[in-house]
Structure 1
């Protein structure tokens, strides 16, 4: 039997109950729209319906993106008070989604999917001091171009609300079909994407290249396993 902390069971409302409440909260009408909201393949939603079980990460993702109470979305229970709701943005702990997309500290990553893999709790007061809580995500880094500051396999916290370039800040960026993590330097008429590892040459963007640059957000924190 699926454990309760891993998925919503049929006794707690199952898929249909979750979908009905998510549809109400997000103003969606189809499972395809739910998949788009979650950043998952349509087949993942179909499988969840067949199993009548919903991943906890989906519940928290819909809660964060709509403002709906996670406990209500999952179980249909009335919203908990803010003091007890650890997933609320004014609670003591806030769950930050970790997405499948990978940031390249190297030549560029083609892994750009926004599917939520897990939700990681952070202290709410710390997150609120850092920036826009509702726009924060965690992403893994591949490559060594940002060493020693950011290493291969590190996880970084990104605030997608901070897209205005601050000189020498570290940002997650989309360049054509790739996503990168780089330090940014402003120069007259150009932006320079710098690697902390001096074995990698700077990337100089100008004109239309700057217009095509997609700033995903600013990197606020780095975590790693020893």
Structure 2
């Protein structure tokens, strides 16, 4: 391998790509890169370990930010590309501004049950949705946020069947009257959580559903996925 080939390989490695993608999209972490790409964070970890960046990732970041793909992958610009950040036109500048204002939040395949429990717990990312970064930061940790669909009516009228909820996986401490996504054995649920002496109680807004009271060893089966911050629905 020639010296030039070695230099090109280094420029095309993961660290160089991540540095340029972060500059183009306003990313602060590899988790945010995964959200932008619509992949699981483990895929980014593997790419970093192998020092290999899939071409599809380069093209995805290019489409979302307007950055030149050659610049993203190798740190060099095509002839006629006008700026050192890989963007060359007013239209591209507009895409860059949008990337700085908005963050891509992944929606995962797993669904939260507002009822007896959902076994659909896959963490695969289906797509990403843009949210204002300042709005997300005011509520929690944007890099730890995911979107999930809700099935069932146990949390009506606050949360309805078919709603999509925003969850901050960085918020797992119980806050009075807070709504949380929780895992209980092999199921995932959305419930209000109440602390009582020696107990945790999972409450439904729909009074047709009885509270789930956990105590003693039963508490070991409960895991907090994160706090529900926002509910969105289609009319």
Say whether the fold is shared (TM-score over 0.5).
Answer: yes
1:189 and 2:198 aligned: yes
1:138 to 147, 153, 162: 147
2:114 to 87, 105, 116: 105
Corresponding residue number in structure 2 for 1:93: 102
Question: 1:123-166, CA deviations, whole angstroms, 9 ceiling, x for partnerless residues?
Answer: 11111100001000000000000000000000000000001111
1:37 and 2:42 aligned: yes
1:178 and 2:187 aligned: yes
- Contact 1:86/1:92 (8 A) holds in 2: yes
Are residues 165 and 144 of structure 1, via their aligned partners in 2, closer, same or farther at CA, if it must alter by over 3 Å?
Answer: same
Q: How does 1:3-42 map to 2 (within 5 A)?
A: 21=14, 37-38=42-43
- Contact 1:145/1:196 (8 A) holds in 2: yes
1:221 to 218, 227, 230: 230
Separation of aligned partners in 2, 1:73 and 1:173: 40
Runs of 4 or more, structure 1, over 6 Å off, are: none
1:200 to 209, 212, 221: 209
Residue aligned with 1:76, SS: helix
- Contact 1:100/1:116 (8 A) holds in 2: yes
Are residues 104 and 37 of structure 1, via their aligned partners in 2, closer, same or farther at CA, if it must alter by over 3 Å?
Answer: same
Gaps of 5+ in 2: 1-11, 19-29, 31-38, 45-53, 76-84, 88-93
- Contact 2:112/2:181 (8 A) holds in 1: yes
Separation of aligned partners in 2, 1:86 and 1:156: 23
Separation of aligned partners in 1, 2:205 and 2:69: 43
* CA apart distance, 1:168: 1.1
Q: TM-score, normalised by structure 2?
A: 0.65
- Contact 1:159/1:218 (8 A) holds in 2: yes
| Higher normalized helix content (fraction of residues) | 2
Are residues 169 and 21 of structure 1, via their aligned partners in 2, closer, same or farther at CA, if it must alter by over 3 Å?
Answer: same
**Paired positions, count:** 178
- Contact 2:109/2:125 (8 A) holds in 1: yes
Separation of aligned partners in 1, 2:151 and 2:233: 12
- Contact 1:104/1:180 (8 A) holds in 2: yes
Are residues 179 and 124 of structure 1, via their aligned partners in 2, closer, same or farther at CA, if it must alter by over 3 Å?
Answer: same
Corresponding residue number in structure 2 for 1:115: 124
Corresponding residue number in structure 2 for 1:76: 73
Residue aligned with 2:220, SS: helix
Q: TM-score, normalised by structure 1?
A: 0.67
